[in-house]
Each structure stands twice: as C-alpha cells, then as structure tokens.
Amino acid sequence: MSIQIRKASMSNAKAIHSLVNKFAKRDDMLPRSLNDIYENIRDFFICNHDNRLIAIASLHIVWENLAEIRSIAVSRKHQGQGIGGKLVKHCLKEAKSLGIGKVFALTYHPDYFRRLGFENIDKNELPHKIWGDCLNCHKFPDCDEVAVMKLLKK
C-alpha cells in the first residue's frame, strides 16, 4: 500500500476534525473543536492513501524542552498496518529537530506507546500541561488518561 505522510494544510482541517471526533465518540480520545483544529493545524501530520486522509497525529509544543503527541487516529480500515507508528516517528523526528528532549502523551492506550519506546510517568511530572489544556478539559480533575513519556537522544 502506498501512503504519503506530510504536514497538514488548512484544506485538511475538516477531515482531521471528522476523524478525531469519530474516535472521541468511542471514548478513544478527547474531542476537539473545528476552531481548535484550525488554530493548531501546523501541529498536524496527515497520512493519505489514494488522495484520502486516512490517519493523523499532532505534535504540540508545551514548553522549552517538552512536547505532546496528540490526536493519533487511523481510520478503522487502515489500522494494524503500522501507520500510527510511522506518524509517531514523524512527530518524534520533528521534536528532535526542534531541540525538544522530552515528548509525552496522555492516552487511553498506554501499551501502544510503550511498544514505541515510551514509559509510564506520573501526571504530576507535567505541570505545564496540567495548568494549560487540562484546566479546560471536561474531565478535569478526574482525568482517566495515562501519561507516558519518551526521552529523545541528542
């Protein structure tokens, strides 16, 4: 299967929004508004197959040496083919190129991230995250996501 991974453009925002919220309806990730997608479009990588968006992931910079991988979603038809892992690797490569040494995720699927070299951490190790996005989340302070982190080698 021929896939293409690239940075998202504004024309991808509605498809990204649709894919994120399909997963959110199944409680696999948190929902995101279309406005949020537009505001953060530069964070997203997309994967296309036959000119159709089939997968997404985003890298969001949180602080000087800290970034978060968010919104990893692969359409059901294309799951199990390593596409999500390729997107995560693109995010990690970009983080490293920016000089970021720590990348974390808050996830309902920590085993997936552990297979990609992440380790479980205590959410209290993420003070910038907690006082940023988490305060606005409908699940705060009863978050049921697991925090994982990967240290990037220089």
Burial level of 1, CB count in 10 A (0-12/13-18/19+)? exposed
- The residues with which 33 forms a beta bridge, in sequence order, are none
**Domain harbouring 108, CATH code:** 3.40.630.30
> What average pLDDT score do residues 57-80 get?
93
Pairing of strands 66-74, 52-63: antiparallel
Q: What is the pLDDT of residues 4-24, one digit of tens each?
A: 999 999 999 999 999 999 998
Neighbouring C-beta atoms of residue 77, cutoff 10 Å: 9
Number of H helices, E strands in the chain: 5, 7
Q: State the amino acid at position 127 in one-letter form.
A: P
Its domain, for residue 25, covers 4-151
Question: For position 140, what pLDDT does the model report?
Answer: 53
74 pLDDT band (50/70/90 cuts)?
A: very high
Quote the CA–CA distance of 144 and 154 in Å, as a whole number: 32
The total domain count for the chain is 1
